[in-house]
Amino acid sequence: MAISIVVPQLGESVAEGTVSRWLKNAGDRVRKEEPLVEIQTDKINVEIPSPADGVLSEILIKEGTTVLVGTEIARLSGGEEAAAPAKPAAAVASASA
């Protein structure tokens, strides 16, 4: 199951930010707390970290796009979940061989 990566609260009175730079590409393996993207506001730049170990499966928002707090900007496939389907498939292949 994919994990949604959303724009967190960026400050007390900040409602939006601009995706300034993706630090990872779709398909990259990432570790929990590893920075994924930089979000820029009028006052600060914030790096959004990965919420878990896994693979950055999809980037939904392009660089230069302004987004509201709470907007889903990417999806992460969990490391365990991505590897799990391969095991039953291998068992089925062995059984039919």
DSSP result, 38-69:
EEE-SS-EEEEEPSSSEEEEEE-S-TT-EEET
> Which CATH architecture is the domain 2-96 placed in?
Beta Barrel (2.40)
CB-CB neighbours of 85 under 10 Å: 9
Q: Summarize pLDDT for 7-47 with one digit per residue, the tens.
A: 999 888 889 999 999 999 999 999 999 999 999 998 889 99
Give this prediction's pTM. 0.76
Output the pLDDT for position 19. 98
